[in-house]
Structure 1
Amino acid sequence: MAQQPILSMEEVSLSFGGLTVLSEVSFKVNPGEIFAIIGPNGAGKTSILNCIGGFYRPSAGRMFFQGKEITRTSPDRRAAMGLARTFQNIALFRGMTVLDNIKLGAHAHLKTGLPAALMYWGAAHREEMALRDLVEKKIIDFLEIEPIRKQAVGSLAYGLQKRVELARALAMRPKVLLMDEPVAGMNAEETEDMARFILDIQEEQGITIVLIEHDMNVIMDISDRVMVLNFGQKIAEGTPEQMQSHPEVIKAYLGEKKG
């Protein structure tokens, strides 16, 4: 029996005015895998993540998450269902501490009402304790950021800010984590650390990852499957090894060899 995908797109198209950004893109992501999306600048990669997250509404086609259609589901509802996102351009509150930024990621799952939360009674207190346990004992330790937990995010080096953003996404307790160029702008050591964390998130926590990245070494090292876009169209899909030798991929993205 075929495995049911955790996330899928069916012939999704996206247009802005007269400009077609995505054209009938279809793919399926299996539970627990790292699914990478690559392609030249302007190929439509980030637009796919924006459609999945609910920031863009497709012009045509459908999207499914855990067997339920989410094409018209609001972004906050998708987050509560288990879709979390990191961004190419860091989207943190720079004046707040690392710990407070991470805690904000859990807001989609808090269930107590405002009166109980303000009075810090019963369920609100239990939720806060559970949140603290999740953030401080699991996420902060897991991403090795304990020494900076009380620092303002704006005072941190770029690579650490990217790690804090990942921590905030993990605080949302995602089933699928969408990552937009997680190692962009990082040096070799920071890139190696982030690649290790991504693999650990998949292997130890069982979180499915959909990844956009220009660093081909990272893509080839950690991805289970790769989809290639060019001018908003899917041109190939397969294992990293298959994509490295695929003629359309070589032509569109990896560069043609000149004789």
Structure 2
Amino acid sequence: MLSVADVHLSFGGLKALQGVSFDAAAGEITGIIGPNGAGKTSLFNVISGFYKPNQGHILFEGKDVSGLKPDARAHKGMSRTFQNIALFRGMTVLDNIKLGCHTNLSANVWSSLLYFGSAQREELKARKEIEEEVIDFLEIDHIRKAPITALSYGLQKRVELARALAMRPKLLMLDEPVAGMNREETADMARFILDAQARFGTTILLVEHDMHLVMDICAKVVVLNFGKQIADGVPHEVAHNQNVIDAYLGQAG
């Protein structure tokens, strides 16, 4: 589904990524781990098109998308969440989620502005799909009319996941989806991620510091340190890799 090939990214004299290469298999969850400043979010920004790499390529379904802008990549089936919640705080839960499906709408600008004909039909169909598939799936029907500002942090994270799923993505990139959550919220989010993979067949790329979550749900783990890739493989192999232990995991007590 996704191939990252020899990606380099620099900001002036700072080398954020240095020769990162890995594959994410279709329908699997691939984790990206590493200490703060390792380049994980920079890598996400390269994959999703927010940053242009100095060198290397991003292949999506076998095609080079390195030159495409973020909206074009979204149209091809790539969606993401953000490390810091990026919801529209003046809007309701439902309106935030509906924004995610707009990449799949085809009505022209005039019918959309006037809200008639094909635009109205598409909007109603999208709302029905969101309510039946995404909102029910993520168990947030009881808050769909609530303003974002009235929600707890954990529920806001769930709404952000809902908006990303509303795009019907082939590749879903989750940037620290359980950061700041308590144990119960983390367990719920892990369940939703696994269910999304199983129900929709979504390929998932996951950046996360919670090692229990990563080792439990990921089929493959890629490890970055100071912008360099120091390991990749199945979770058990990575957890026992001495370079990873020294750089990030540390020795068990």
Compute the TM-score of the two structures, normalised by the length of structure 2.
0.98
TM-superposition CA deviations, 1:87-138 (whole Å, max 9, x none): 1100001111000000011111111012222343332222112201221111
* Residue aligning to 1:229: 224
Q: Does 1:65 align with 2:60?
A: yes
* Residue aligning to 1:3: none
* 4+ runs deviating over 6 angstroms: none
* Residue aligning to 2:91: 96
Task: Summarize the alignment of residues 5-154 of structure 1 with structure 2, pairs less than 5 Å apart.
Answer: 6-154=1-149
Distance, in Å, in 2 between the alignment partners of 1:140 and 1:214 is 27
Aligned length: 253
Distance, in Å, in 1 between the alignment partners of 2:14 and 2:100 is 34
Q: How far apart are 1:256 and its partner, in Å?
A: 3.8
Q: Which amino acid aligns with 1:146?
A: D
* Residue aligning to 1:208: 203
Q: Which amino acid aligns with 2:70?
A: P
Q: Which amino acid aligns with 2:103?
A: A
Q: Which amino acid aligns with 2:17?
A: L
Q: Which amino acid aligns with 1:13?
A: H
Distance, in Å, in 1 between the alignment partners of 2:248 and 2:98 is 39
Q: Which amino acid aligns with 1:215?
A: D
Q: Which amino acid aligns with 1:78?
A: R
Q: How far apart are 1:160 and its partner, in Å?
A: 0.2
- 1:249 alignment partner, SS class: helix
* Residue aligning to 2:177: 182
- 1:25 alignment partner, SS class: strand
* Residue aligning to 2:156: 161
- 1:43 alignment partner, SS class: coil
Unpaired runs of 5+ residues, structure 2, are none
Q: Which amino acid aligns with 1:157?
A: S
What is the Cα-based RMSD across aligned positions, in Å?
1.1
Q: Does 1:254 align with 2:253?
A: no
Q: How far apart are 1:34 and its partner, in Å?
A: 0.1
Q: Which amino acid aligns with 1:32?
A: G
Distance, in Å, in 1 between the alignment partners of 2:212 and 2:56 is 32
Unpaired runs of 5+ residues, structure 1, are 1-5
Compute the TM-score of the two structures, normalised by the length of structure 1.
0.95
